[in-house]
């Protein structure tokens, strides 16, 4: 028998570490300036995890906050999906640690690695589980500790990234009566594999002393090429998700916080007003899989997601991958 359950977002939560790293941190040792970083990216500061704090710690708090908002207990969960490219360990997955720390005794758990599309991949996968009747309550998380994988000497990338976590609880719409997911999309183009990558540490090039000395474990970004791809993809995702809906129906766009100029260009292309868009990149930088999840939670808590209005989530990242979700709040 085919089941088709309407799916809603019962609650959201997020967490960013307390350590604030302003642009002046980089001015101290790199040929860069606060002015350049703000003008070229929109970033003023970012949060970095402190020693001993890892991805699962942040994911746990975001998950607890989402469960609290959904008025559900950890034991109510059937599944935990964690989008991350920076799990605490390569093995096992971050989601298993979250499951243990949360005490979600009845939940299955797995990670997805779709880089900055991580939260939307987790969310859209969780949506499919609930829609098909395979799970009743799913915790979708996007969480990253990117600060541990940046090359502090690479001024083109180290200034971009921050740490944090965001989460959403998915249930049957009938149970939560809010945040109905109307449309989901995921895509990929592996031809852009090398535009954002970490060369070392995987099965092709396992870590060696030499690879560590070369810095092969750091995130490498071909910023200019990614920029071009991102402007095009952000615009086309928003177009695809909003197709068939009037401009006035759209309450909020929550884009991946990658670069303020990329967000502005996409909006310009659409001719959309900036007040519909959630932007927090100035405070957190690019937190990859956490980015859309944190921005969505902050917008929800600030009362910016109005009941009945449409909310568009759009992200893209390494792979290349991209994903989007259309929600009626
Ligand atoms: O989520 C996916 C991961 N994110 C990304 O891949 C980021 C996407 N790309 C971007 O956000 C932008 O491309 C950057 C912010 C990374 C760079 O901005 P840009 O306007 O594309 O600069 P550019 O790479 O074209 O570089 C312009 C100049 C270069 O100097 P020359 O060659 O013109 O002399 C860079 O060396 O800016 C220089 N530059 C910097 N100068 C001061 C690069 N980084 C810095 C810096 N401070 N931090």
**Ligand 1 centroid, distance to 318 Cα (angstroms):** 17
Are 204 and 317 in a shared domain? yes
Mean pLDDT along residues 45-70: 98
The answer on pLDDT for 329 being more than 70 is yes
**Ligand 1 centroid, distance to 269 Cα (angstroms):** 22
Instruction: Kindly state whether residue 47 falls inside one of the protein's structural domains.
Output: yes
Provide the token pair at 307: 């009941």
pLDDT in tens, 166-218: 999 999 999 999 999 999 999 999 999 999 999 999 999 999 999 999 999 99
> Is 286 an annotated catalytic residue?
yes
pLDDT of residue 270: 85
How many structural domains is the chain composed of?
Answer: 2
- Of the three residues 114, 144, 178, the one that is the final residue of a domain is 178
Instruction: Kindly state whether residue 286 falls inside one of the protein's structural domains.
Output: no
The answer on pLDDT for 3 being more than 90 is no
Instruction: Kindly state whether residue 2 falls inside one of the protein's structural domains.
Output: no
CATH code of the domain covering residue 122: 3.40.47.10
pLDDT of residue 250: 95
Are 17 and 152 in a shared domain? yes
Instruction: Of 196, 183, 224, give the one whose Cα is nearest residue 114.
Output: 196
**Ligand 1 centroid, distance to 13 Cα (angstroms):** 32
Mean pLDDT of all residues belonging to the chain: 96
Instruction: Of 180, 176, 163, give the one whose Cα is nearest residue 284.
Output: 163
Are 59 and 146 in a shared domain? yes
Are 154 and 191 in a shared domain? no
pLDDT of residue 269: 85
Looking from the CA of residue 259, the nearest atom of ligand 1 is 11
The answer on pLDDT for 2 being more than 70 is no
Are 174 and 104 in a shared domain? yes
- Of the three residues 178, 207, 224, the one that is the final residue of a domain is 178
**Ligand 1 centroid, distance to 48 Cα (angstroms):** 21
Q: Express as a percent the part of the chain with pLDDT over 90.
A: 95
**Ligand 1 centroid, distance to 247 Cα (angstroms):** 33
Range of the domain at 227: 181-281+291-328
- Residue 300's pLDDT band, with cuts at 50, 70 and 90, is very high
Instruction: Kindly state whether residue 1 falls inside one of the protein's structural domains.
Output: no
Are 198 and 155 in a shared domain? no
Instruction: Of 194, 195, 198, give the one whose Cα is nearest residue 219.
Output: 198
Are 68 and 207 in a shared domain? no
Helix axes 55-70, 94-102, angle to 10 degrees: 50
pLDDT of residue 273: 87
- Of the three residues 125, 160, 178, the one that is the final residue of a domain is 178
Is beta strand 79-83 parallel, antiparallel or unpaired with respect to 138-145? parallel
Probe residue for ligand 1, chosen from 116, 223, 321 as the CB with the greatest number of ligand atoms within 8 Å = 223
Are 301 and 199 in a shared domain? yes
Are 189 and 307 in a shared domain? yes
| Ligand 1 residue neighbourhood (C-beta within 6 Å) | 32, 36-37, 40-41, 116, 155-156, 159-160, 196, 221, 223-224, 226-227, 230, 258-259, 286, 317
pLDDT in tens, 68-95: 999 999 999 999 999 999 999 999 999 9
Instruction: Kindly state whether residue 98 falls inside one of the protein's structural domains.
Output: yes
DSSP letters of 161-183? B-EEEEEEEEEEHHHH-S-EEEE
Selecting among 23, 94, 113, 116, the annotated active-site residue is 116
Are 206 and 170 in a shared domain? no
- For ligand 1, atom 21, name the residue with the nearest CA: 224
> Is 256 an annotated catalytic residue?
yes
């Amino acid at each position: 028998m085919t089941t088709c359950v309407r799916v809603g977002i019962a609650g959201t939560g997020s967490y960013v570490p307390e350590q604030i790293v302003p642009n002046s941190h980089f001015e101290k040792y790199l040929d860069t300036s606060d002015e350049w970083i703000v003008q070229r990216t929109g970033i003023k500061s970012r949060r970095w995890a402190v020693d001993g704090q890892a991805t699962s710690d942040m994911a746990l708090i975001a998950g607890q906050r989402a469960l609290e908002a959904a008025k559900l207990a950890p034991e109510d969960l059937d599944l935990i999906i964690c989008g991350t490219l920076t799990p605490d360990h390569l093995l096992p997955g971050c989601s298993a640690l979250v499951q243990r720390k949360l005490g979600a005794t009845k939940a299955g758990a797995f990670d997805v690695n779709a880089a900055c599309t991580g939260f939307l991949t987790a969310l859209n996968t969780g949506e499919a589980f609930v829609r098909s009747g395979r799970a009743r309550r799913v915790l979708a998380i996007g969480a990253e500790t990117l600060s541990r994988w940046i090359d502090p000497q690479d001024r083109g990338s180290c200034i971009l990234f921050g740490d944090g976590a965001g989460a959403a609880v998915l249930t049957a719409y009938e149970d939560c009566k809010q945040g109905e997911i109307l449309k989901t999309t995921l895509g990929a183009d592996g031809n852009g594999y090398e535009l954002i990558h970490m060369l070392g540490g995987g099965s092709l090039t396992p870590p060696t002393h030499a690879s560590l000395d070369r810095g092969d474990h750091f995130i490498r970004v071909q910023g200019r090429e990614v920029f071009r791809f991102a402007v095009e993809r952000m615009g086309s995702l928003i177009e695809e998700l909003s197709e068939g809906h009037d401009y006035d129906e759209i309450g909020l766009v929550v884009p991946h916080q990658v670069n303020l100029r990329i967000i502005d260009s996409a909006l310009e292309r659409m001719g959309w007003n900036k007040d519909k868009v959630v932007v927090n990149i100035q405070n957190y930088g690019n937190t990859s899989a956490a980015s859309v999840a944190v921005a969505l939670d902050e917008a929800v808590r600030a009362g910016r997601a109005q009941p009945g209005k449409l909310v568009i989530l759009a992200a893209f990242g390494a792979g290349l991958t991209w994903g989007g979700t259309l929600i009626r709040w």
